[in-house]
Amino acid sequence: MGHRIEARESGAGTSTPARLLHYLWPVALGWTVATVAGRATGLPVSPAGRDLLLLGIGAAYSYDRLADPAEAASPALLALLRLGFVACAAGTLMLLPRMPVGTLALLPVLSTAVLAYRWAKAYPWVKALLVPLVWTWAGLALPLADGSWLGWRSLAHPVALPLFLLLAAGCLLCDVNDAARDRARGVRSLPVQVGVGRTLLVAALVAIVGAATGLAQGRLGLVADGLLLAALAACRPLLMLESWGPLAVDLALTLPGILILAHLV
């Protein structure tokens, strides 16, 4: 049993391509959030702001994985992550001159959240609330780039609420895969506090509330997303799979952008 737990926590048995896809898919999720932001607000999406969001996500997630000692088991993956981090960080610097000053004021806040995440997530509920808040804030403020200080005008749009709820549900679903690691590292995530089963129930309820909020706003893509996340909460064996479980959640969260691209909503 101990050997199986150690193997799972180190990612053994999961191919490097699968893990890399899991690490990179948040960039596609960022594209979905930017697409939803433009559709919901009716405002033009800034190409520079959208690209800044996507490159920032790539840099942030590469940094987080590089800071995880478990990744040392795969030198090839580490090399790709280092290359991705440098490329994304360089790309963000090149885009800064094309952004409004008010929107740029948000970047130190987002950067602080990324750097402090590994410390802050040891506190109850921080992991469940900080990540969806940062995603919602950045996903609305950067692509819309309305010039308001810290992007407050974009964050105040009604679509921010269902987006936050759906992203929060997704984070809870991903947390069940990390429950053993979180417990070993002293991270008091919801699965560690109340158990995996109750966490899945909470995630399903949050997803349903997010779908209902989206329905009230006429956002059918968000409704479909919420229902799919709620259905995933019933697929515990899938969610517990290393890399594939979190990837399934990210794929579900990308659904609204796919529906918009296909002109189905």
pLDDT score of 134:
92
**pLDDT > 70: percent of the chain:** 91
Q: What is the DSSP letter of 223?
A: H
Single pTM value for the model:
0.87
Kindly give the interhelix angle for 220-232 and 196-216, rounded to the nearest 10 degrees.
Answer: 170
Q: Compute the distance between CA of residue 150 and CA of residue 230 in angstroms, rounded to an integer.
A: 32
Is 49:31 a contact under the CB 8 Å cutoff?
no
Give the model's pLDDT for residue 73. 57
pLDDT at 11: 42
The predicted model gives 58-72 an average pLDDT of 74
At position 251, the amino acid (one-letter code) is L
Q: Grade residue 72 by pLDDT with cuts at 50, 70 and 90.
A: very low
The 10s digit of each residue's pLDDT in 31-57 is 999 999 999 999 999 999 999 999 999
Query: pLDDT at position 14, please?
Result: 55
CB-neighbour burial class of residue 217 (10 A; exposed 0-12, middle 13-18, buried 19+): middle
Rounded to an integer, the average pLDDT of 134-153 is: 93
What six digits make up the tokens of 137? 């804030």
For 178-196, write each residue's pLDDT tens digit: 777 777 777 777 888 888 8
Query: How many C-alpha atoms does 51 have within 13 Å on its Cβ side?
Result: 16
DSSP state at residue 243:
T
CA distance 226 to 198: 18
**What's the rounded Cα separation, in Å, for the pair 57 and 115?**
13
Residue 250 near residue 170 (C-beta atoms within 8 A) = yes
Indicate if the pLDDT at residue 232 is higher than 60.
yes
- Which of the pair, 137 or 77, is modelled with greater confidence? 137
Q: What's the pLDDT at 30?
A: 95
Per-residue model confidence (pLDDT) at position 8: 35
pLDDT of residue 6: 32
Q: Rounded CA gap, 177 and 237, in Å?
A: 10
Maximal CA-CA distance, the chain: 55
- Which pLDDT tens digit goes with each residue over 196-223? 899 999 999 999 999 999 999 999 999 9
What is the CB neighbour count within 10 angstroms for residue 157? 17
- % of the chain exceeding 90 in pLDDT: 57
How far is the first Cα of the chain from the last one, in angstroms, to the nearest whole number? 47
Q: Considering the chain, what is the average pLDDT of its residues?
A: 86
Q: Are 140 and 199 in contact (CB under 8 A)?
A: no
Measured between alpha carbons, how far is residue 140 from residues 99, 135, 160, 226 in Å?
14, 8, 8, 19
Q: Identify the pLDDT of residue 124.
A: 67
- The pLDDT score that the predictor gives to residue 249 is 94
Please give the Cα distance from 64 to 82 (Å, whole number).
Answer: 11
